[in-house]
A and B are shown apart, each in its own frame.
Chain A
Amino acid sequence: MSTYSLSDGLASGPPRVARAPLLASWVRESGVGILASVAWIAFGLSCLWWEDVGDWSRTHSLGIAALVIAAIALFGTVGADYLGSAGRGLRQRAPWLVALGAFLTLWEVATAKFAWLPLPFFPPPQSIIEVYTDDLPKLLDSVFASVKLQLGGYLIGATVGFLTGVSIGWSRAVGYWVHPVLRFIGPLPATAWLPIAFFTFPSSWSASTFLIALATGFPVTVLTWSGVASVSNAYYDVARTLGAKPSFLVLKVAIPAALPHVFVGLFMGLGSSFAVLVVAEMIGVKAGLGWYLQWAQGWAAYANMYAALIVTSLLCSGAITLLFSIRDRLLVWQKGTVKW
């Protein structure tokens, strides 16, 4: 209440008092945006001003692009009030734009212009852009191969892990037989199977799928199991007195109650399966981002390596974001879930 009356008083006060805060708030809201624009102008000029020490074809276009981004940042943040949610988003991210512009300027100057950093190992931004424009088909092929392998292995591993976990948690007999196997095999890093897998499986693709599924399946199994096992008996009592059959108890009580645990397992499985994916592609599969990284390193094509690394990171992060959004949708009933 008191804050309302305070702002009411401010609005109806003398105009001279009201105008100064208005200017101040305009500077506060747009100042960072102007700074971001300055940082990107600096980056653009640093590209265009000096001669490159090496032979890169995209320097000029990169410089122009940086200036365009600077212009967008400037008009976007100054005119944010007329741009709706896009303007608000831009203002919110302005500090990051400043940091990014400054970092890129420094990078450009330290590599392409004065070679303060040893050159083949630290490629300038324009050479990474060059990879994305000139080596795009190969990179896309690799992305496609990786996504296919990862998706297949992960889905198989998650499904098998989930079903195994539910069965162990539910049935004593299944638990008796599967639990010791799980204890023996589960903690072994999936990569330890690499040599065996690659000569026992008919193809390197099926071997890698198996390994990714294994890396995913173990955490999913264990957490699903512990989730099902920790469901309070009170829930089963309620359902049974209301006439629930065993299938109802599994599908409508045990599984939904265990779902938060299952998602922890899915996250852990996703993390460890990424590791297996990259290693498997480096060693056995002749396709995918892991293979691309390996190939780039072999040819000392460091720009390609960084380019592939950035793509890999975006893909992994994207996968985790996707899983988070699925979880948030399925577990709306939980309070206080983590924002990714």
Chain B
Amino acid sequence: MVAATALAEIDAHPAAGAALDIEQVSHAFDIDSAELPVLSDVSISVEPGEFVALLGPSGCGKSTLLRLVAGLDKPRSGTLREDEARITRPHPSRVVVFQDPTLFPWRTVWDNVALGLEAQGVLKSQRHCVDAALDLVGLSDFRTAYPHQLSGGMAQRVALARALVNDPKILILDEPLGKLDSLTRISMQAELVSLWQRKGFTTLLVTHDAEEALVLANRVIVFSDRPARVKADIRVDRPYPRHRGDPYLADLRRQILGLLGLDATW
């Protein structure tokens, strides 16, 4: 049972999000001629417009999976599909916010946010989208600043704006709020949820924070240690906006932390 408001929003934009099918994907890296298995037979099927949080121990392969979804790397075996079409290369319908903001230091904040529109050759007609995205992350006053003049959290927000401006069907977030202070973080979480409800894109969010996952996502997937396997797939059927103190979420949180290897005293 998805929250009524969210459902309404998603129904209002039926084409906004794309379905994502990850089918028996395994991946490995070669380090010094030894093979390091990173993903082991991962299958996840994501409905259009779902908000899926991925949780797992550090180094288990979450970022690797996101790179495969983005089309930046090819899996050793298995297939990934976006709306039935096989993912073989990057496409602006799947936009990634990487773990590092990786802003282009030679571009101003505004030009960084405009990057996607410029690359697709539509910047002229959509300049207002850049301004709107900057407004959204609260950095309109910094449009002419260079990345070295920003704080870590501000840089992360610019990276978020750079992704959102492209109107993606699948938004891929690799710990995008990790560097933010707790207050900005909570307000950005709320922004993210309302944005997702408004636009209806499918969201994949990697996070270390079980609470963040539970406040934001419809679904929480817990990975095992490397090589990552799907250890648990948990539905979070609570309406938005959610409250951190919600006993139902607290219960789920205990359950997830248990899966991640922390005992019940937490």
A and B associate: yes
Residues of chain B from 184 to 218 with CB closer than 8 A to chain A in the complex: none
**Range of interface residues on chain A?**
20 to 34
1/0 per residue, CB under 8 A from B, across A232-259: the answer is 1011011111111100100011001101
Bound state CA distance, A237 and B92, in angstroms? 12
Q: Is the CB of B119 within 8 A of A245?
A: yes
Q: Is the CB of B119 within 8 A of A235?
A: no
Q: Is the CB of B115 within 8 A of A333?
A: no
Q: Is the CB of A238 within 8 A of B70?
A: no
Bound state CA distance, A244 and B95, in angstroms? 12
**Known contacts A234-B98, A259-B106, A241 near B148 by CB under 8 Å:** no
Indicate if B62 sits at the interface (CB-CB under 8 A). Answer: no
Q: Is the CB of A237 within 8 A of B98?
A: yes
Most buried by B among A241, A252, A253: A241
Nearest-neighbor residue (CB-CB) of A332 within chain B: B146
Bound state CA distance, A237 and B118, in angstroms? 16
Number of interface residues, chain B, beta carbon within 8 A: 29
Q: Is the CB of B116 within 8 A of A243?
A: yes
Q: Is the CB of A242 within 8 A of B162?
A: yes
Q: Is the CB of B70 within 8 A of A241?
A: yes
Identify which of A239, A256, A335 contacts B148 (C-beta below 8 A): A335
Q: Is the CB of B95 within 8 A of A256?
A: no
Q: Is the CB of B106 within 8 A of A257?
A: yes
Indicate if B104 sits at the interface (CB-CB under 8 A). Answer: yes
Q: Which residues of chain B are within 8 angstroms of A239 by Cβ–Cβ distance?
A: 115, 119
**Known contacts A242-B166, A252-B118, A333 near B146 by CB under 8 Å:** yes
Q: Which residues of chain B are within 8 angstroms of A244 by Cβ–Cβ distance?
A: 119
Nearest-neighbor residue (CB-CB) of B147 within chain A: A333
Q: Is the CB of A256 within 8 A of B104?
A: yes
Bound state CA distance, A256 and B147, in angstroms? 15
Q: Is the CB of A248 within 8 A of B119?
A: yes
Residues of chain B from 135 to 151 with CB closer than 8 A to chain A in the complex: 146-148
Least distance between A49 CB and chain B CB atoms (Å): 60
Bound state CA distance, A279 and B96, in angstroms? 56
Residues of chain A from 245 to 278 with CB closer than 8 A to chain B in the complex: 245, 248, 252-253, 256-257, 259
Q: Which residues of chain A are within 8 angstroms of B119 by Cβ–Cβ distance?
A: 239, 242-245, 248, 252
Q: Is the CB of A241 within 8 A of B100?
A: no
Q: Is the CB of A243 within 8 A of B102?
A: no
Indicate if B86 sits at the interface (CB-CB under 8 A). Answer: no
Bound state CA distance, A19 and B22, in angstroms? 84
Nearest-neighbor residue (CB-CB) of A236 within chain B: B72
Indicate if B90 sits at the interface (CB-CB under 8 A). Answer: yes
Q: Which residues of chain A are within 8 angstroms of B94 by Cβ–Cβ distance?
A: 241
Nearest-neighbor residue (CB-CB) of A260 within chain B: B106
* Chain B residues proximal to chain A, CB less than 8 Å: 67, 70-72, 89-92, 94-96, 98, 100, 102, 104-108, 115-116, 118-120, 146-148, 162, 166
5 tightest A-B contacts by CB? A243-B92, A242-B116, A244-B119, A240-B90, A256-B106
Could you list 16 examples of A-B contacts with CB < 8 Å? A235-B104, A237-B67, A237-B70, A237-B98, A237-B102, A239-B119, A241-B71, A241-B90, A241-B92, A242-B92, A242-B162, A243-B92, A243-B166, A331-B106, A333-B105, A334-B105
